[in-house]
Every structure is written in C-alpha cells, then in structure tokens.
Amino acid sequence: MQASVKWHHDNTFVGTSGSGHAVVFDGNKDDSVAPSPMEMVLMAAGACSSVDVVSILKKSRQQVLGCEVKLSGERAETVPKVFTKLHLHFEVTGINLSEKQVERAVQLSADKYCSVSIMLSGSVTITHSFSLKPADITPVAE
C-alpha cells in the first residue's frame, strides 16, 4: 500500500491514496477548511469498524438499513498529543434487528477485523457500545 501527501498552502495538505483517491488535511487550528490528521485517524477507526459491522450484519441476514458510529476521543495533555482513549458508539437502524447479532458484529469488529482500531489498541484504550433503532417504515396494507 502506498500514498502521498503534498503541501498545498498554509497548513493544508492533499493526500492521495495508491488507488488515486484524494483527501484534504488541515493543520490550522482556526479557520480550518478540512479535518485535521488526528480527526482523520478518529474517523478512520469509525469507518473501518462500520464496514465490518454492516458486512457482518448483512452476512447474518439482518435487515440493517443504517449504521452511524459516533466517535469520541481523549488526547494526552502534552506533546505528542496522542489519543489515550477512544469510544465508538454504533447506532444501528433496521427491521427486527437482533440485539445479540449487533453485539456480536461490534465485538467481532473490535477483536478480529478492524485493522485501524486493533492497531491503535496497542497504545489507546478503546471501548465500544451500540444501540438499536427501529426503521421508520410503515407496513403497506394488503
């Protein structure tokens, strides 16, 4: 896997992945135009784990219609201001979702599949939680 990051101006950089996708990073504290690198790390953990959770739920034939992960991170007070704690809370929407299956999907992602959070877990305390939301679908009368 390869990527590059090129300085654009001020503290703004453009990263380009080996697959050709670009993303903007902004190191400016005020008036930023894009996420900071640490915000990207936080979102990467959420994205990686969300891919796992949705995939596992689909494979277990759950009628999942939505998945949003709300992330919070705590950082060290001194430089380098690394993450010390991360929490991922999954809000999973679907029809007749099994709480046991959602719990299993979140746990499998945390313990086995999410490369980003597993990599970070060597130095960061990572916790997970979830809630189920029934889908806002009105049954069609027959």
Handedness of CA 99, 105, 106, 108 (dihedral sign): positive
Strand, helix or coil for residue 31? coil
Per-residue pLDDT 10s for the chain (142 aa) are 999 999 999 999 999 999 999 999 999 988 999 999 999 999 999 999 999 999 999 999 999 999 999 999 999 999 999 999 999 999 999 999 999 999 999 999 999 999 999 999 999 999 999 999 988 875 555 5
* Domain boundaries, given as residue ranges, for the chain: 1-30, 37-134
Topology given in CATH for the domain delimited by 37-134: GMP Synthetase; Chain A, domain 3 (3.30.300)
Task: Read off the pTM.
Answer: 0.91
CATH topology (fold) of 1-30: N-terminal domain of TfIIb (2.20.25)
